[in-house]
Amino acid sequence: MIQLLAADGTRTPHPELDEVLAGRGGDDDLASPQRLRGYYRDMVMIRAADLEATSLQRQGQLGLWASALGQEAAQIGAGHASREQDYLVPTYREHGIAWARGIEPWRLLESYRGVSHGGWDPNELRTHPYMIVLGSQAPHAVGYAMGLQRDGVVGTGDRETDTAVLALFGDGASSEGEVSESFTFSASFGAPVVFFTQNNQWAISVPTSVQSRVPLAQRSRGWGIPSVRVDGNDVLAVLAAVREALDAARAGEGPRFIEALTYRMAAHTTSDDASRYRPSSEEEEWAEKDPILRLRRHLEQLGEIDEAFIARCDEEAHDLAMALHHHIHGMEDPDPADMFTHAYAEPHPIVEAEREQYLEYVAQFEDDAEQTGERS
Amino acid sequence: MSSTSTTNLPIAKAITAGLRDALRADDKVLLMGEDIGVLGGVFRVTDGLHAEFGPQRVVDTPLGEAGIVGTSVGLAVRGYRPVVEIQFDGFVFPAFNQITTQVAKMHNRTNGTVHMPIVIRIPHGGGIGAIEHHSESPEALFAHTAGLRILAPSNAQDAYWMTRQAIECEDPVIMFEPKKRYWVKGDVDPDRRPELSPWQAEIVRPGADATLLAWGPSMPLALESAEAATEDGIELEVIDARSLAPVDYPTIAASVRRTGRLLITHEAPVLGGLGGEIAARISEECFYHLEAPVMRVGGYHLPYPPARMENAYLPDLDRVLDGVDRLLEH
Ligand SMILES: Cc1ncc(C[n+]2csc(CCOP(=O)(O)OP(=O)(O)O)c2C)c(N)n1
């Protein structure tokens, strides 16, 4: 397992990946103190947004929330490892990925509140919609990567335009057939895609050990897809491994697979009761490996962080949570008539007719209300 | 006005011509499927296209229907217009998840920002003496899913033009191709766009006594039945539904208002089939014009039987005429 930061924050050297972090090929230093502080801030921000979303769910403002608590390093690391032009294909728990891509957190809450199914423009934000049907997004990632090959933006040597796809799915989702088919298709065509699994140890109540007889990282090797396992609570290890794999994919070397070992600190979702299947000792053990704490310790060892910075991050995080709170409380329900708008791209007589029917039906009540109003 | 460009082609070759012209017209169009490249597809529908357009545009894929359809979703997000071939109707089910939860819903899910101009070509129906899973009629399963469109050409002209129009459509289209009629020839005019939209039904034979609705592989039977019925002095109006999603209810309802009677025939099992949906809607819309309940003649509620029994399973002339008799008894 690749680890660059031990749980106590100590930095372990890694000749190859250190080079990647240091900015191979003219990149900025991905491990500069300034960057490290940025990752720290990002993780603090999304944790705050995440906790706020959980409390919004408790207040009845969201129907459900899938917390990414504990997975911040895996997501912030992978998100920042991608380049501007890359296309990211997330699941439903990728709040750190979305944050790293500049998607505003309230947009993630929309689908959990039930006001939309996602709704952002994937091409504009270069991020696929959140995916609920496990594994379904993996072949989309491969197809997009096949499109990149046809567009001539793979393996040209131009860092600004060469592009790859980062496909994310959970350890449980990796049991789905579509993930296996995605391995097959990407390997067959040498498509520039990096599969990234956050092995958070559990797929609801079923542990990874039941779903795979070998470490997940070994799975893709049957397809000839090189793979590594990284410490998913180590933002630097994730960053370096994903950057290295994406660079290889961009260079035309074909697909890669990365398993990031992490832990889902919260329940699966706000509807789940993790205490039914998970020993609290396990949670305590993983709390020791907290990704935010670990980076903070590292920065402390470097002498690159002070109380003022930490306080500023906490304050910003608090402001973000407050902003989310106000945004959600002020969020209006969409006009139900809008549900007819985007079923089809081209005119559809049956949808049109049903929309008219709906509007007429609703208008009856408005008429009734007006009449009653007149009488009283 | 007759056009000089008209040629006489089998349905399979009309589709080939449609695919070729679409590939030439738009370099974002690409074909994907099992054995569609060098071999030209198990029915040779893509014959010659690999040689002309190369392996990047006519893609021999690994075996994996979910992979074929799922990657086409990613390609569509990237701006491509994938046309995928499912080898046989019974093999679409591994891709059912991708078609119903992904292809059908991506446009809606992204509030209209992403289009899914994907065409899924499926050889359709029985009567070719095939082994299991090679003769099925799953159109109702897809017609039930909002977000999809379904076309079912029954002749060469429609086969050519529906191929072109399906590829041009910004929505996903499933094209059910009448496999038992792949080698039946008909006139095709690739230079003259038909006046009828692909989403409209066509009255292919006028008649006053009852309306007979069919599509795709059942059309020859419908026409044969209408011909035979004249011997008993019955004039059947025959409609080719052409589009199964959306169904062109205005054309069908107008016909039923004239004839007062409707018989629907399809190969799929009657139970839960598309005929039932059409019957229900026509009953709602044309209740006071109907002289008899809407009737259906189709397959039984059985797995498609082994080939030596399929003639008993599939609607045939006698069963359709029997249906006509029952319809006219009222
Ligand atoms: C096809 C499908 N089956 C079942 C579900 C219900 N479900 C949602 S999440 C989940 C577990 C997923 O575990 P994993 O892939 O490890 O991701 P995690 O939630 O742990 O991040 C299940 C069974 C689903 N969303 N999709």
Nearest-by-CA chain A residue for B112: A342
How far, in Å, from the CA of A204 to the mean position of ligand 1? 7
Cα gap B11→B162, rounded to integer Å: 11
For residue B29, list its beta bridge partners: B81
Cα gap A262→A94, rounded to integer Å: 14
- Is residue A375 very low, low, confident or very high in pLDDT (cuts 50, 70, 90)? low
Indicate if the pLDDT at residue A1 is higher than 80: yes
DSSP state of B323: H
For residue A352, list its beta bridge partners: none
Is A264 tagged catalytic?
Answer: yes
Cα gap A250→A244, rounded to integer Å: 10
**Whole-number pLDDT of residue A119:** 83
Token match 């019955």: residue?
B234
Cα gap B220→B227, rounded to integer Å: 11
Cα gap B255→B203, rounded to integer Å: 9
B66/A contact by beta carbon, under 8 A: yes
Cα gap A62→A54, rounded to integer Å: 8
Distance from CA of B147 to the nearest CA of A (A): 5
Tell which of B109, B118, B165, B247 to mutate to test the A interface (max A CBs under 10 Å). Answer: B109
Cα gap B45→B55, rounded to integer Å: 16
Asked if B227 and B326 count as a contact pair (C-beta separation under 8 A), the reply is: no
Alpha-carbon distances of B97 from A179, A371, B171, B314, rounded to whole Å: 13, 48, 17, 28
pLDDT over 70 percentage in chain A: 99
Which mutation among A92, A134, A205 tests ligand 1's pocket best, with the greatest number of atoms within 8 A of CB? A134
State the 10-residue block means of pLDDT for chain B, 330 residues long.
78 98 98 97 97 98 97 98 97 98 97 97 95 94 98 98 98 97 96 96 98 98 98 97 98 98 98 98 98 98 94 96 96
For A106, the token pair is 């309230």
- In 10 A of CB A348, how many CB atoms? 20
Strand order in the sheet with A87-89: A87-89, A165-170, A193-199, A256-261, A227-231
Instruction: Answer whether B199 sits within 8 Å of A188, measured CB to CB.
Output: no
Cα gap A37→A310, rounded to integer Å: 9
Asked if A47 and A306 count as a contact pair (C-beta separation under 8 A), the reply is: no
> If contacts are CB pairs under 8 Å, which of residues 161-180 in chain A contact chain B?
165, 177-178
Alpha-carbon distances of B272 from A203, B147, B269, rounded to whole Å: 36, 20, 7
For residue B236, list its beta bridge partners: B210
A348/B contact by beta carbon, under 8 A: yes
Q: Is A15 helix (H, G, I), strand (E, B) or coil?
A: helix
Instruction: Answer whether B114 sits within 8 Å of A122, measured CB to CB.
Output: yes
A118/B contact by beta carbon, under 8 A: yes
For B313, the token pair is 């399973």
**Whole-number pLDDT of residue A372:** 76
Residues with CB under 6 A from ligand 1: A 93, 132-134, 170-173, 200, 202-204, 264, 268
**Whole-number pLDDT of residue A373:** 66
Considering CB atoms only, which of A141, A147, A345 is closest to B80? A147
More confident residue, A365 or A186: A186
Give the ipTM: 0.92
Cα gap A360→A208, rounded to integer Å: 52
- In 10 A of CB B1, how many CB atoms? 3
A152/B contact by beta carbon, under 8 A: no
**Whole-number pLDDT of residue B1:** 45
Cα gap B114→B107, rounded to integer Å: 5
Cα gap B210→B328, rounded to integer Å: 8
Cα Dmax for chain B: 60
- Of B50, B107, B134, B266, the active-site residue reads B134
Is B115 tagged catalytic?
Answer: no
- In 10 A of CB A36, how many CB atoms? 22
- Strand B236-240 and strand B202-205: the pairing is antiparallel
Arithmetic mean of pLDDT, A23-49: 94
Indicate if the pLDDT at residue A19 is higher than 80: yes
**Whole-number pLDDT of residue A369:** 80
Identity of the residue numbered A327 = H
- In 10 A of CB A337, how many CB atoms? 11
Cα gap A306→A303, rounded to integer Å: 8
List, for residues A68-110, the tens digit of each pLDDT value: 999 999 999 999 999 999 999 999 999 999 999 999 999 999 9
Identity of the residue numbered A149 = Q
Arithmetic mean of pLDDT, A266-283: 95
